[in-house]
Amino acid sequence: MLRELNWSRWPRKRFLMVVLGTGFLLRGAAVVALREPQQVHRPETFWDGVVYHEIAQHLVAGHGYVLAPDRPTRYWMPGFSLFLAAVYKVVGVNAAGAYLSLCLLGSASCLIAYLLGCQLRGETFGRMAAVLGALYVPHVYLATIFASENLYAVWVGLAAFFGVRYLKRRRWHDLVAAAVTSGLGVLTRPYLLLGVLLFSAWLLVRSRQRDFPKLAGPVYLLGTLAVLSPWVVRNYLLDGRVVVLTTGAGVTFHGSNNDVVLRDVRKWGTWIPTSELPEGAWLSRIEDEWVRDREHWRVGLEWAREHWPWQPVLMAARLIRFWLPDFDSPNRAYVVAQLVGYTPFLVVFLAAGCRWRRTVAGERQLWAPIHAFLLASVATAVLFWGSPRFRDGNAPLLMVYAALGAEVVASRLREQKDGARAAH
């Protein structure tokens, strides 16, 4: 078991410095190896990242949250662009500063995995989660692209940490902190709102017990919505339309529910740009984001209803893609790195399921926010697109699952070793 590892040789401060430094250096090395640090990566590498960069520049210039002067947008959630704008305010508009901040976010996610693991099962467990986080290759790669998942990992990890700590200590300021960080997470990746609703519902069910606060669920939900409200108000003031999250969900749903995806088995579970569809030309000519989003929803839902027998197949394919290594890239070296760097983690993720079922009831309850937030990502992948990037944005949560699975693997290896000694 993990407790048999002699972690006591390393004082906590030294351990954290080494692990977090390793996580930072690995991400920095990946940026140097894969990118030109002085330039933003190409649009074909990750198109959304280029847009985040451009919006951040407009924010710094005082134009507001716009794609171009006098062209406001609600297509992308504002969290990551606001973060980049803050970085640019400090270091100037340059890609090197942005990449540095992404490496720091990656290192911070390792620290959060450590803190979350310590809350769940103690110091040794937290250290294992941190080590795994530093070495998790898919998350190392995220630092090389301007992806909102870099920031989302920090917010969702902190939200889970404060949620777990509230369940242990029942202190209201922990619940408020969970609500605030959850709200910031929703402003970065909108699907976390589903996780917020799930955790709120769980808190409401728990409140039926005598020893549990009755207002925990409402306080958490309302606190999260309060953080989200400025974005909703801003969207309403633009043209009087209510947009709670984004106008980009329709195009994602449509891009994964169409004839092109269905006819090519290799595309099952994935997403294609709607510009590649026959109807993409007239849809792209709709300038109003709100109207265009509604039309994408209409066309996508009509197709889904007409092909409803295929929906279980496509959903299963998305779920499989969500948990498999990312093998869609034409870059063979990237695919090999994903296979080698992720497959061991998939093994321990599967082992974690066996281990968690054997934990005591009181400990299982502490995992409620972690389960709720990860389930939100899984549900989004099943309904929209099984992108491994959506999975890896939950890095701190994944690492505590991985540490739990590592306990199983270490225990089995120990049993085999003891059995071999006894046989001799």
The predicted structure's pLDDT at residue 247: 92
Query: Is residue 413 a part of any domain in this protein?
Result: no
Query: Is residue 132 a part of any domain in this protein?
Result: no
The predicted structure's pLDDT at residue 208: 86
Would you say 253 and 296 are in contact if contact means Cβ atoms under 8 Å apart?
A: yes
The predicted structure's pLDDT at residue 7: 54
**Using 50, 70 and 90 to split pLDDT, how confident is the model at 69?**
confident
**Using 50, 70 and 90 to split pLDDT, how confident is the model at 365?**
confident
Query: Is residue 266 a part of any domain in this protein?
Result: yes
What percent of the chain clears pLDDT 70, i.e. is strictly above it?
92
Cα(293)–Cα(252) distance, rounded to whole angstroms?
10
Query: Is residue 234 a part of any domain in this protein?
Result: no
**Using 50, 70 and 90 to split pLDDT, how confident is the model at 415?**
low
Dump pLDDT digits (tens) for 264-277.
998 999 998 888 88
Return the higher-pLDDT residue of 45 and 190: 190
Cα(249)–Cα(387) distance, rounded to whole angstroms?
14
Query: Is residue 333 a part of any domain in this protein?
Result: yes
Return the higher-pLDDT residue of 212 and 22: 22
Cα(397)–Cα(85) distance, rounded to whole angstroms?
27
The predicted structure's pLDDT at residue 356: 60
Q: Where are the alpha helices (DSSP H) in 35-94?
A: 47-61, 79-91
The predicted structure's pLDDT at residue 351: 79
Query: Is residue 214 a part of any domain in this protein?
Result: no
Query: Is residue 317 a part of any domain in this protein?
Result: yes
The predicted structure's pLDDT at residue 411: 66
56, two tokens: 């951040």
Query: Is residue 23 a part of any domain in this protein?
Result: no
Domain hosting 361: range is: 246-392
Domains of the chain: total:
1
